[in-house]
Structure 1
Amino acid sequence: MIVRTLSQCEQTERRIISPDGNWESTRMQLKDDNTGFSFHITTIYQGKDFYLHYKNHFESVYCISGKGEIESLEQGDVYPIEPGTLYILDQHDRHMLRAFEELKLACVFNPPVTGSEVHDKDGSYRLESAPLES
């Protein structure tokens, strides 16, 4: 059994702040935990919007607090995000994420991340074994 608290994880290298200043993510469960997925508490700062495309991962996201929206760039549909909303990126969906208020999100990634990932220029996390794109 593994037991961790968010406050403990926030005081370690598990807390990642994005280089672009859009978000921070505390990775509470990682690949090294050998469970087949990772679990993060992510904060998207108010007024931030950005392009994401998880080409190598599936992601489920549950909104704990805040307001925003997600736009599917494949279909053009826009969905509000508010507490209680779950969205699932089950097709490696290209999308825009917008935070009208600070968003606090619980996120699950499959395959799991190793912990230090930040978004590549194409909005994705690379797989641990994948080469860096130039």
Structure 2
Amino acid sequence: MIVRNLADAEKSNRRIVSPEGSWESTRLLLKDDNMGFSFHITTIYKDADFQLHYKNHLESVYCMSGRGEVEDLATGEKHPITPGTVYILDKHDKHMLRAFEEMKMACVFNPPITGAEVHNSEGAYELEDTPLATL
């Protein structure tokens, strides 16, 4: 059994802040936990507006608080994000994420990430990065 506390994890190297300062993510479950997926609580800061394209991962995102939108860049369709909304990037969808307020999101990645990932120039995570335990 794995038991972790978000407040404790936020005070550890499990909390990653993006280099550009638009989000932070506390990685509660990682590849080394051998569950086949990773689970994060991510905060998207107010007025963040960035392009993402997870070429190597599928992601499911559930909004717990805040307000924003996700735009499908293939179709131009915009979807509002409010508490209770889930969006699933089931086709490695290239998208824009905008936060009109600070948003708190629960995120699941498959395959799981190792822990230290930040977005590359294309808005993706690499398949393998530095395991969090070695940082």
Q: Does 1:103 align with 2:103?
A: yes
Q: Does 1:16 align with 2:16?
A: yes
2:117 corresponding residue in structure 1:
117
- Give 1:8 deviation, angstroms: 1.0
SS at 1:105's partner residue? Answer: strand
2:39 corresponding residue in structure 1:
39
SS at 1:21's partner residue? Answer: coil
Letter in 1 for 2:115: G
2:60 corresponding residue in structure 1:
60
Q: Which digits, 9 at most, give the CA deviation of each residue in 1:49-77, with x for residues without a partner?
A: 00000000000000000000000001110
2:91 corresponding residue in structure 1:
91
TM-score, normalisation: structure 1:
0.95
Letter in 2 for 1:8: D
1:75 corresponding residue in structure 2:
75
State how many pairs are aligned.
129
- Give 1:31 deviation, angstroms: 0.2
CA distance in 1, matches of 2:48, 2:126: 22
Runs (4+) of structure 1 moved beyond 4 Å? none
Q: Does 1:2 align with 2:2?
A: yes
Gaps of 5+ in 1: 130-134
Q: Which digits, 9 at most, give the CA deviation of each residue in 1:21-73, with x for residues without a partner?
A: 11000000000000000000000000110000000000000000000000000
1:132 corresponding residue in structure 2:
none
SS at 1:3's partner residue? Answer: coil
Letter in 2 for 1:89: L
TM-score, normalisation: structure 2:
0.94
Identity %: 68
